[in-house]
Amino acid sequence: MTVGDRALDGTGTLLRVVLRRDRIQLTAWVAGITVFLAFSAFSLRDQFGDAGARASRATLMASPTLRSFRGPGYGLEDYTVAVMVAHELLLFGLIGVALMTVFMITRHTRAVEEDGRWELVGSAVFGRQAGLAAAGVAAIAASSLTGTTTAITLVLTGGDEIDVATAVTFGLAMALTGAFFAGVGLVAAQIATYARGANTIGLVVLAAAFVLRAVGDRGGPDDRTLSWASPLGWAQAMRPGASERFWPAALLAVATVALLATATTLASRRDIGAGVVRPRTGPDVADRILVHPAGFAWRLQRSATIGWMAGAAVVAAPFGTVVSDIDEFLGQNPQLADVFGADGGRLLDGFLGTVLLVIGLLAASAAVQAVLRLRTEEDRGRAELYLSTPVSRARWARTHIGWSLVTGSTTMVAGIAALAGAAALDQRDAGLALDITVDGIAHLPTVWLFTAITAAVWWTAPRLAFVSWLLVAHATFTGLLGEALDLPAPARAVSPFHHVGSFTSSPTSSASALVLLGLVAAGITIGRAIRHSDDTSLVDRRESTMTGSR
């Protein structure tokens, strides 16, 4: 028997490789989730230090709609800072670690096989399941680290209001949820043949868990039968901040072990590079729409576009159903009104402006992802194959960048329509829907600007594509927490969305100016981006030219 015949041989070596490859992404995930939760907890504690303000907020949070988007509401009758932080932030932490582990698992399992790298690695002294084990250990370690850092920062930022028991329960719930979804990712990587399919399965499981919990939590903590079918519901049932209990953690642990065992069994029975479920055979003759670059771009981007549109609508609609309570709620909480940028008789305007900002951030994320599909196609070698046809690189780039404008715009429009429709029904006011639509449309040029910036990054330095996501993260942080944390004006001015909000006194002129700015920037960038004729960046071409001249 050779060394490589044993299933887990070389796991330690591959684990070091995984951690080295992910050292930047992993640091960004852990730090991002931890910092977001820590600053959010600090902001809530600062804004609602008064018991009366917390009691008023608890009344709003007890509505069925907000229970669906926050949790069942354990401890709402005595809404302490610890209860408030756990109730309003735990779900965000759970979703964050779930996304982190699913993407991490797919990147180091199914994507490696899809690219053919595992055949090369597996030919050395590595066991068949070493890669699976290394990815699983790394993902579980990452979720544990995130839970630990979150617990520590909650204790540090919570002062005397958040005790150690609350922080530990909060962090443990996050760590176990991340481990559970690492198991989901490992099973998905065995089922799907392609990395996109594995990610889709993981996201569908997460979405189903969220929906089951959201529907089950509408009735409150005493009527959440359906929530017990969701791992997110199990984590929230640990009740951090409100009579903590740890037995639901056993449900997450047992389910995680079951998923790991299932993934191991499936991995031992399938062929390398193949999934348990084989992709369906395509038609003998391709659809005519694929002959045209625009049709081909649509086929590649349609699922993501539809998903972003549905997500924006699902996020926006519930906010529209609570607009009738906003004036009373913000009127009783002047500090929160300041956070929303509302003053005097414009409380509702400030609230709706913040919701439109959230929709705009989703639309910008959709646009960035659509543009970066160009880089993905290059990395996977599919762009080179496609460009071997009569289609020029100019048309290929132009259609994909154009489609990213469509993706960002339709995502924004879907969110605006959902918010405006729900608000109009709640208020019985068609004029409110028109106002929301007009204000929302003013964000479109900003979304286009994100497209232009991302295209510029892809054109000049494809390896720095993550910079576009950093801009989105910065815009999210400064837009949602800038007022609460009193960030310096220059720091907030970096975000394109900051300037939309600063021109509210003259929306027509500001929208026109931003439209012009977005279109000019997009036109210049797209024109330059499609000039180079191969699948390398302009910088790479200059370097190769200089090397050849020598």
Q: For residue 240, is it within any domain? A: yes
Domain termination site, one of 277, 310, 341: 277
- The per-residue b/e assignment along 121-142, b for 16 or more CB within 10 angstroms, e otherwise, is bbeeebbbbbbbbbbbbbbbbb
Q: How many domains does the chain have?
A: 2
Cβ atoms < 10 Å from Cβ of 406: 18
- Rg of the Cα trace of the chain? 25
The per-residue pLDDT for 182 is 94
Residues 106 and 228 in one domain: yes
The per-residue pLDDT for 534 is 43
Instruction: State how far Cα 369 lies from the chain centre.
Output: 11
Q: For residue 548, is it within any domain? A: no
The per-residue pLDDT for 50 is 78
Q: For residue 545, is it within any domain? A: no
Residues 78 and 216 in one domain: yes
**Can you give the three-state secondary structure of 440-457, one letter per residue?**
HHCCHHHHHHHHHHHHHH
Residues 268 and 336 in one domain: no
The tokens of 40 are what? 């959010």
Q: For residue 338, is it within any domain? A: yes
The per-residue pLDDT for 310 is 87
Q: For residue 316, is it within any domain? A: yes
Residues 344 and 238 in one domain: no
Residues 328 and 229 in one domain: no
**Can you give the three-state secondary structure of 249-278, one letter per residue?**
HHHHHHHHHHHHHHHHHHHHHCCCCCCCCC
The per-residue pLDDT for 486 is 63
Alpha-carbon gap, residue 314 to 417, rounded angstroms: 11
Q: For residue 63, is it within any domain? A: yes
Q: For residue 1, is it within any domain? A: no
Q: For residue 191, is it within any domain? A: yes
The per-residue pLDDT for 506 is 43
- Considering only CA atoms, which of 273, 101, 277, 118 is closest in space to residue 199? 101
Domain termination site, one of 246, 277, 308: 277
Residues 265 and 304 in one domain: no
Residues 330 and 206 in one domain: no
The answer to whether residues 525 and 460 touch, using CB atoms and an 8 Å cutoff, is no
**Domain of residue 77, residue span:** 7-277
Residues 194 and 257 in one domain: yes
Residues 367 and 295 in one domain: yes
Q: Please, what are the averages of pLDDT over each run of 10 residues along the chain (550 residues)?
A: 58 85 87 87 79 79 76 85 88 91 90 72 68 89 94 85 90 95 92 83 88 83 84 92 88 94 87 71 70 77 84 82 63 52 56 83 90 79 74 75 88 90 79 84 87 82 78 81 67 76 43 49 52 42 39
Residues 355 and 213 in one domain: no
